[in-house]
Structure 1
Amino acid sequence: MPHQPSRRAGDGPDTVLAQAPYRVGAVTLVARDLDALARFYQDVIGLARVSQQADTVRLGAGGRVLLVLRHDPAARPWTRREAGLFHTAFLLPGRGDLGAWLLHAEKHGVVLTGAADHLVSEAVYLDDPEGNGIEIYVDRPDDAWVWASDGTVVMRNERLDRAGIIAAATRPWDGMPAGGCIGHVHLQVGELDAAERFYAGLLGFAVTCRYPSAVFLGAGGYHHQLAGNIWNSPGAEVRDGGTTGLAEVELHAEAGTLDAVRTRCRDGGLLLVEDGEALLVRDPWGTRLRLTSMPG
């Protein structure tokens, strides 16, 4: 059973994430049309431009980089049958923020691809102009999450209370709040057992939920910082280079967690690249993960 950290009364999902040994830092995407994709994430998702170079734009919230866009106009468009990104999930601080974003999306004609109450969270889904999946969500209070005796959390797809969420909005949408972050990254993989061996066995995440053709992985009592599914990609092979879409997921990790991953990689004879203080590893389908120390 995964370790369930003790919590003070009033602790919420943000506190659970803040105390977890892993947090998602930034997601890097390769873009064929850098300007158009950057405008989308600013205008629709509400990210702010943090920095820009000739071929790279960094976007974020509260001065923190959450999304890196790299320009490659010659990149082959990634297809949904391949391993890669299912969605980047942006976690908003409160239910009213999600309500404000929904009104903003409606005003600007943003097309949603789905919406659900997952019991642990309330979420809506859409795609960016280059086909990268996006989730915008808000967590329910963590004391409302139901954990089974085997240590997994109960998650389902229920009807979203859109009216109630919109009614919770107290101000117009004015961009991603400073407390917004990437709560989790959901990946497309080729095979679930291999995904579990890598993400649980090597990186040290706990399996927090098993769903038909999907596995959810969390650390520190959070419902999931990562997930993998084979809904579109069963049997997917190692990704070729030179495609659009996901290039890298950055994971912030506590020092002890980084040391444990380093040891398991070396003991298992796996190739481990150290880039300064960061560890670079690739999952069985070539998706690169950059493990860095938890920011102070």
Structure 2
Amino acid sequence: MPAPLEAHDAPVFIGAVTLRVHDLPALTAWYRDAIGLRVLHQDAGSADLGVGGRVLVRLEAGAGQPTSTAGLFHLAILLPSRHDLANWLRHAAQMRLPLDGASDHLVSEALYLTDPEGNGIEIYRDRKRAEWPLRPDGGIAMATERLDLDALIGEADAGPYAGMPAGTGMGHVHLRVGDTAAAEAFYRDLIGFELMVRYPGASFLATGGYHHHIAGNIWGSRGAGPRRPGEAGLDRFELIAPDAADFAGVRERILAAGGDEAGGVPAIADPWGNRLVLVR
């Protein structure tokens, strides 16, 4: 059985990410064939894709047009190992998927691409926590360095790609926000995440000492206001709190910050209209 993901060794972590899409059948096929997720459920209005019964990406039909620069920068699918990342890179090369980038972040190694409707995706693997470098003040050190794709793909297996492996999960979500201080005020001060790292124009937050479960940047969205209801792209993402006490604590924070509990599910929107849903 695969070891638990570093991202999930935390009181609260990221679950399924829901996207509003224009062409549900086409995008469902793309996430199945290009990304390597399995279709777990599909009907006329939505599709759930994931690994081992765990939903990672939920697609919902009926998207409107984007009207804001805020929203999703990328969703980040976390693979269990470097070997799994190598296998996915070989698959991407065989499918001639265009990559937007490839980076060594010191704590992780990541590949970037964009789906046919413009949603950013990161496919990555974490190094073990004991290998994460630290800054002089004791915080986690992160950087963006070149990832050697030739060396990585040299570790891949031969043969057809079998899809993303057991143990794959959602690692983090990275958002376009209008102001990083406002993002910190919401996700840290109201919801209870810890500030882990600041980059120029970006803030990275997490629980349990992870490098980041949520990030927000202003690289192309400085000053952006709330998104309009029904826009294409990110609709919501899950916060998973497996422990009852952790769940109760985050639920209390969500409701105190003005969230709701329709249908018994605590939820709240951030200042840009991205909705968080708390689940066990």
* TM-score interval, normalised by the smaller of the two chains: over 0.9
CA contact (8 A) 2:6 2:128 kept: no
Say whether the 8 Å CA contact 2:6–2:126 is kept in structure 1: no
TM-score (norm 1): 0.88
Identify the residue that residue 235 of structure 2 maps to in structure 1.
247
Structure 2 residue 106 is the aligned partner of structure 1 residue 119? yes
CA distance in 2 between counterparts of 1:150 and 1:284 reads 31
1:139 and 1:287 map into 2 onto residues whose CA distance is: 26
| Conserved? CA contact 1:49–1:57, under 8 Å | yes
**CA offset at residue 151 of structure 1?**
4.9
SS of 1:70's equivalent in the other structure is: strand
Please list every run of at least 4 consecutive aligned residues from structure 1 whose deviation after the TM superposition is greater than 6 angstroms.
none
TM-score by length of 2: 0.93
Change (3 A) 1:104 1:262: closer
- Specify the SS of the correspondent of 1:44: helix
Shift of 1:264: 3.4
- Selected match of 1:53 from 38, 43, 53: 43
Matched to 2:33, the amino acid is: D
1:37-186 superposed matches below 5 A: 37-72=27-62, 75-76=64-65, 78=66, 82-148=69-135, 150-172=137-159, 173-186=161-174
CA contact (8 A) 2:105 2:142 kept: yes
Query: Does the CA contact (< 8 Å) of 2:108 and 2:127 recur in 1?
Result: yes
Contact 1:92–1:138 (CA<8 Å) still a contact in 2? Answer: yes
Deviations 1:39-87 (A, max 9, x none): 11001100000011221111110111111100116x11x26x6210000
Q: Is residue 256 from structure 1 mapped to residue 245 from structure 2 by the alignment?
A: yes
Q: Supply the distance in 2 between the matched residues of 1:219 and 1:47 (Cα, whole angstroms).
A: 26
Q: Is the 8 A contact 1:50 1:60 kept in 2?
A: yes
Q: 1:166 to 1:255 in 2, by over 3 A?
A: same
Against the structure 1 CA distance between its residues 266 and 22, is the aligned structure 2 distance closer, same or farther, given a 3 Å change threshold? closer
**1:277 offset after TM fit, Å?**
4.2
How much has 1:221 moved relative to structure 2? 1.6
Q: Which runs of 5+ in 1 are unaligned?
A: 1-10
Shift of 1:292: 0.9
Q: Count how many residue pairs are aligned between Structure 1 and Structure 2.
A: 277
Residue deviations 1:121-179, cap 9 Å, x none?
Answer: 00010000000000011111211102335453111011102122112223542101121
CA distance in 2, matches of 1:151, 1:208: 11
Tell me if 1:35 matches 2:25. Answer: yes
Distance in 1, matches of 2:7 and 2:94, equals 32
Q: Distance in 2 between matches of 1:115 and 1:61?
A: 23
Taking only aligned residues, the RMSD between alpha carbons, in angstroms, comes to 1.8
